[in-house]
Structure formats: structure tokens, C-alpha cells
Amino acid sequence: SDSWNNPAFEANFVKSLNEGTYVINVIVPAIRAILKNLPLGKSTFISSSEC
């Protein structure tokens, strides 16, 4: 997949990735950064599921 060949990541980091670590190390922090400044209450939850 092209996701693994992203030039933003060093080769050693890419070699250590699998789908789970990619989600935890890349996707979740990106979602947190995007949502950080939105007016969401403390009881707001974000979940994901695999289809």
C-alpha cells in the first residue's frame, strides 16, 4: 500500500509498521490534532470499526 511508502516516515519506522501500529502511531494522533480545538464536550467519544 502507498500508505507504507509515505516519504514523511523514515525507512526504519516504515519497516516496523503493521496495520495496528499505523493506526495507533499515525491515524489516532492525526484525529486528536484535528479534534483538539473543536467545541466538543467531555462526554464526546470517537470510535472506529473495521468494515
Average pLDDT across the chain, whole number:
71
Mean of the pLDDT values across residues 3-17? 64
Return the higher-pLDDT residue of 26 and 17.
26
- Residue 23 C-alpha cell reads as 493506526
CB 24 within 8 A of CB 9: no
Domain boundaries, the chain: 1-51
Q: Is 14 exposed, middle or buried (0-12, 13-18, 19+ CB in 10 A)?
A: middle
Mean of the pLDDT values across residues 27-38? 82
- Residue 46 C-alpha cell reads as 470517537
27 phi and psi, to 5 degrees?
Answer: -70, -50
- Residue 13 C-alpha cell reads as 519506522
CB within 8 A of 33, min separation 6: which ones?
A: none
